[in-house]
C-alpha cells in the first residue's frame, strides 16, 4: 500500500510550459504549486504531531501533581483517575504513531519522490528547448549538474520547511501555552530566547545564503572541468596533458575549498550562538519555575513540565540548526541552478506557427545577414535560390559562411537580417520540430548517442521496422561491420552500445551509422556537411553511389572541402566573405578560372576520380 502512495500524484502530467522565474521564492512556488494540497496536509499533520508531543509533556507534569496530591495510596489514584490514565495511554500508543506515520508517508512518498521527479522533468524539458548556441556556450556537465542537483534541493527545502520548521514552530507555540497555563511568567525565558534566535538568523541568513550560492557555483564549475576532461580524454592523452588537467582540477577544488570554508565558518558561528542561547533557555526557564514553586506560585508538576519542555527544545536546536543550514545550502544550489534553468528560450516558435508543408523543396535565402553579434564576418546580404530537387554544393574557405547558412536554415541560430523560405514558407513562421523533421543532415563531426546501434539508426525514424533499419544500414555499407560489434556487457550486433558520442567505433563506422540514420529518415531536404570526410577512399567511393541514389527527388545542400564529393552535383556555389563569389556547374567553374578552379587545382583534381574516362582524358 505504501508503495502505491506515490501514484496519487502524476509528476509528468501536462502543464502550461513557461520560462521559470529567476527569483528564489517565485521559482519555488512555481515548481511546488502542483503539490500544494499534499504539502498543506503534511504541514497540518506536523502540527498534530507537535501538539501530541507537547501534550505528553504537559500530562507528565499532571501525573507528577496527581502523585504529589495523592495521600491515600495507589488504589485511590487508580479508582479516581484510572480511566483517564488508560485513555491517555491508548492515545499515546495509537494516535501518536498514526499521526507520525501519516505525516511521514505524505512527506516521503507523495511530496518527496514526486517533487524530485516533477522538478527534474520540467527543468530538463525547458533546458532541452534551448538553442544550439545555448549549449555551445557552456559545459554540458555543468548544465546537467544544475538540472540534477536543483531538483533534490527543491524537494529537501520543502521537506525541511514542512517536517522541521513547521513542527518546531508548533512545538514552541505548544510549549508557551503549556507553561503559560501554569504561570505566564514561565513563558518569558522562551520569548527572550525566540527574540535572540530571530536576531541571529536575521544577521546570518543573508550571509549564509550567499555563501551557499558561491559553494554551489564552485561545485558546478568543478564538475564542468572534470567532465570536460573526461569527455575529451583522447585529446588529453594524445597531448600528454594529464598534469595540466590535474592542475585545472586542483585550482577548481582549491577554490571550492575556500568557498566551503566560508560556509562552514558561518554555520559554526550559528551553532555557537544557538548553544549559548539553549543553555540560557534551560537555566532561565527551570530557574524561574523553581523560584515560583518555592513561593507557592506553581506546582511541582509545572516545574517538571517546564524542565522537560526546555530540555527538549534545547536538544531540538541541534536538529533545527542543521535543517536551517541545509535550507540555506539548498537555497544556494537552487539560486545557482536558476542561472541556467530560468533563462528564456532564445529561439521560439512564432505565435500561431504551423507545421512546414514541403511540396517541392524550393529553398530561398533572401538578403541574409548574420555575424553572431559581431560587427564583421558571417553572411553579408546573401541571396540564393535552390530549385525543387536541385543538388547544390557549397564551397569556400573556412569562415566563408557555409556552416552559418545551414545553421540558419535549421534555425539553430536566429538570423539577424533577411529571411529563408521553404516552398514559400518562412522558417520563422513554422514550428521548429516540423522544420527539422523535413531536413535530413549528416555533419562532419558525427556523434552518436550512448545507446545501441539499433537505437541510433532508428533515431532517424523511430517507427521504422527492423527490415527498413537493416536496409538503411546495408545501403551505406554499415551492415558490413555491425554484426561483429560487441560491447563490454556482451551485447552484440545491432544491440551493442556504441559508447559516449560513439567513442567505441572508428570514425568511419560512426559516419556510416549516422548516414544510415539519415537514409532511414528519408527527409525531402538533405544537408551533407562533409558527410564522407571520415571515410577512407575505398569506402567513400562505394558510399558516394549510395548517396547519389539517396539524393534522387530531394533538394540537396552539400558542403565539402574535398571537391570530388560534389563535382557531380547540379550546381556549385562558391562563398567568399559571406557572399556568393561564383556559381555554376563543375565544368563551368573550372572554365571560368576563378576561386573554384584554384581550389580544384590545389587538390590536384580531387582525392577521388569523378569519372575514370574523364580523368584519363585530363
**Alpha helices (H) in 183-231, listed in sequence order:** 188-231
Q: What is the pTM of this model?
A: 0.75
For the stretch 388-404, what's the b/e string if a residue is b when 16 or more beta carbons lie within 10 angstroms of its beta carbon? bbbbbbbbbeeebbbbb
Looking at the DSSP bridge assignments, the partners of residue 442 are 528
**Domain-located, residue 348:** no
Boundary residue ending a domain (314, 341, 368): 341
DSSP three-state, residue 105: helix
Contacts 24+ apart (CB under 8 A), 552-555: 553/389, 553/524, 554/361, 554/389, 554/391, 554/523, 554/524, 554/525, 554/526, 555/360, 555/361, 555/362, 555/363, 555/386, 555/387, 555/388, 555/389, 555/390, 555/391, 555/524, 555/525, 555/526
pLDDT for the residue 533: 63
- If asked whether residues 543 and 478 sit together in one domain, one would say no
Where residue 480 sits, what CATH number does that domain have? 3.40.50.300
Boundary residue ending a domain (308, 341, 374): 341
pLDDT along the chain (618 residues), means of 10: 81 90 92 92 84 80 78 74 84 85 88 90 92 82 85 87 74 79 82 84 80 82 83 78 88 91 86 82 86 83 82 75 77 86 91 93 93 76 94 89 90 91 95 93 81 92 93 90 91 90 82 89 90 65 73 89 83 92 93 91 53 36
- If asked whether residues 31 and 77 sit together in one domain, one would say yes
DSSP three-state, residue 390: coil
Domain range for residue 234? 2-9+20-341
245 vs 247: CA distance, rounded Å: 5
**Domain-located, residue 350:** no
Where residue 234 sits, what CATH number does that domain have? 1.20.1560.10
- If asked whether residues 557 and 499 sit together in one domain, one would say no
Q: Determine the length of the chain.
A: 618
- If asked whether residues 414 and 561 sit together in one domain, one would say yes
**Domain-located, residue 194:** yes
Number of domains in the chain: 3
DSSP three-state, residue 370: strand
- If asked whether residues 405 and 518 sit together in one domain, one would say no
pLDDT for the residue 458: 93
pLDDT for the residue 376: 66
pLDDT for the residue 380: 86
**Domain-located, residue 412:** yes
- If asked whether residues 390 and 490 sit together in one domain, one would say no
- If asked whether residues 513 and 386 sit together in one domain, one would say no
pLDDT for the residue 71: 62
- The grid coordinates listed for 407 are 545553421
- If asked whether residues 89 and 31 sit together in one domain, one would say yes
**Domain-located, residue 250:** yes
- If asked whether residues 453 and 432 sit together in one domain, one would say no
**Domain-located, residue 247:** yes
Boundary residue ending a domain (522, 549, 580): 522
**Domain-located, residue 243:** yes
pLDDT for the residue 535: 62
* Cell 479508582 -> residue: 79
- If asked whether residues 213 and 296 sit together in one domain, one would say yes
pLDDT for the residue 19: 92
| 599 exposure class (CB count in 10 Å sphere: 0-12, 13-18, 19+) | middle
405 vs 425: CA distance, rounded Å: 17
- If asked whether residues 36 and 153 sit together in one domain, one would say yes
- If asked whether residues 459 and 564 sit together in one domain, one would say no
Looking at the DSSP bridge assignments, the partners of residue 382 are 368
pLDDT for the residue 532: 67
**Domain-located, residue 14:** no
- The grid coordinates listed for 377 are 564576418
Strands 439-442 and 571-576: unpaired
333 vs 149: CA distance, rounded Å: 7
- The grid coordinates listed for 262 are 566560508
Amino acid at each position: 500500500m505504501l508503495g502505491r502512495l506515490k501514484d496519487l500524484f502524476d509528476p509528468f502530467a501536462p502543464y502550461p510550459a513557461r520560462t521559470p522565474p529567476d527569483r528564489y521564492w517565485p521559482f519555488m512556488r512555481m515548481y511546488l504549486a502542483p503539490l500544494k494540497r499534499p504539502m498543506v496536509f503534511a504541514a497540518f499533520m506536523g502540527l498534530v504531531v507537535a501538539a501530541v508531543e507537547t501534550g505528553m509533556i504537559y500530562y507528565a507534569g499532571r501525573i507528577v501533581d496527581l502523585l504529589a496530591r495523592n495521600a491515600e495510596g495507589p488504589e485511590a489514584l487508580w479508582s479516581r483517575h484510572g480511566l483517564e490514565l488508560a485513555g491517555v495511554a491508548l492515545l499515546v500508543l495509537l494516535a501518536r504513531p498514526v499521526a507520525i506515520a501519516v505525516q511521514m508517508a505524505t512527506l516521503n512518498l507523495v511530496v518527496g519522490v514526486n517533487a524530485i521527479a516533477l522538478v527534474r522533468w520540467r527543468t530538463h524539458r525547458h533546458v532541452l528547448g534551448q538553442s544550439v548556441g545555448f549549449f555551445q556556450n557552456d559545459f554540458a556537465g555543468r548544465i546537467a549538474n544544475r538540472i540534477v542537483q536543483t531538483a533534490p534541493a527543491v524537494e529537501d527545502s520543502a521537506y525541511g520547511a514542512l517536517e522541521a520548521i513547521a513542527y518546531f514552530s508548533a512545538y514552541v507555540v505548544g510549549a508557551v501555552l503549556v507553561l503559560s497555563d501554569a504561570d505566564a511568567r514561565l513563558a518569558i525565558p522562551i520569548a527572550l530566547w525566540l527574540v535572540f534566535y530571530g536576531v541571529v538568523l536575521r544577521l546570518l541568513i543573508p550571509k549564509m545564503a550567499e555563501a551557499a550560492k558561491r559553494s554551489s557555483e564552485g561545485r558546478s564549475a568543478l564538475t564542468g572541468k572534470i567532465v570536460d576532461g573526461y569527455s575529451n580524454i583522447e585529446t588529453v592523452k594524445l597531448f600528454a596533458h594529464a598534469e595540466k588537467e590535474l592542475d585545472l582540477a586542483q585550482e577548481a577544488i582549491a577554490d571550492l575549498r575556500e568557498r566551503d570554508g566560508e560556509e562552514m565558518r558561518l554555520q559554526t558561528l550559528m551553532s555557537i550562538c544557538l548553544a549559548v542561547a539553549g543553555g540560557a533557555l534551560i537555566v532561565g526557564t527551570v530557574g524561574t519555575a523553581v523560584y515560583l514553586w518555592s513561593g507557592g506560585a506553581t506546582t511541582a508538576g509545572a516545574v517538571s513540565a517546564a524542565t522537560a519542555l526546555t530540555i527538549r527544545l534545547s536538544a531540538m536546536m541541534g536538529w533545527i540548526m542543521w535543517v536551517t543550514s541545509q535550507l540555506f545550502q539548498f537555497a544556494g544550489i537552487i539560486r545557482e541552478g536558476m542561472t541556467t534553468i530560468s533563462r528564456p528560450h532564445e529561439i521560439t516558435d512564432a505565435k500561431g506557427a504551423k507545421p512546414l508543408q514541403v511540396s517541392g523543396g524550393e529553398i530561398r535565402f533572401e538578403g541574409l545577414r548574420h555575424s553572431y553579434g559581431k560587427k564583421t564576418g558571417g553572411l553579408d546580404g546573401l541571396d540564393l535560390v535552390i530549385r525543387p530537387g536541385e543538388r547544390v554544393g557549397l564551397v569556400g574557405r573556412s569562415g566563408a559562411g557555409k556552416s552559418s547558412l545551414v545553421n540558419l536554415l535549421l534555425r539553430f541560430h536566429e538570423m539577424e537580417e533577411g529571411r529563408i523560405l521553404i516552398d514559400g514558407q518562412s522558417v520563422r513562421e513554422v514550428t521548429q520540430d516540423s522544420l527539422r523533421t523535413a531536413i535530413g543532415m549528416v555533419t562532419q563531426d558525427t556523434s552518436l548517442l550512448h545507446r545501441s546501434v539499433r537505437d541510433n539508426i532508428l533515431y532517424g525514424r523511430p517507427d521504422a521496422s527492423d527490415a527498413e533499419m537493416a536496409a538503411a544500414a546495408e545501403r551505406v555499407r554499415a551492415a558490413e561491420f555491425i554484426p561483429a560489434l560487441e560491447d563490454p556487457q556482451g551485447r552484440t550486433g545491432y544491440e551493442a552500445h556504441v559508447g559516449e558520442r560513439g567513442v567505441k567505433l572508428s570514425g568511419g563506422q560512426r559516419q556510416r551509422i549516422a548516414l544510415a540514420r539519415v537514409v532511414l529518415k528519408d527527409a525531402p531536404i538533405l544537408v551533407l556537411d562533409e558527410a564522407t570526410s571520415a571515410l577512407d577512399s575505398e569506402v567513400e567511393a562505394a558510399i558516394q553511389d549510395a548517396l547519389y541514389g539517396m539524393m534522387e527527388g530531394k533538394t540537396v545542400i552539400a558542403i565539402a572541402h574535398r571537391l570530388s564529393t560534389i563535382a557531380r552535383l547540379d550546381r556549385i556555389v562558391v562563398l567568399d566573405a559571406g557572399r556568393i563569389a561564383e556559381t555554376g556547374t563543375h565544368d563551368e567553374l573550372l572554365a571560368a578560372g576563378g576561386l573554384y578552379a584554384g581550389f580544384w587545382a590545389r587538390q590536384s583534381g580531387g582525392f577521388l576520380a569523378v569519372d575514370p574516362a574523364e580523368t584519363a582524358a585530363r
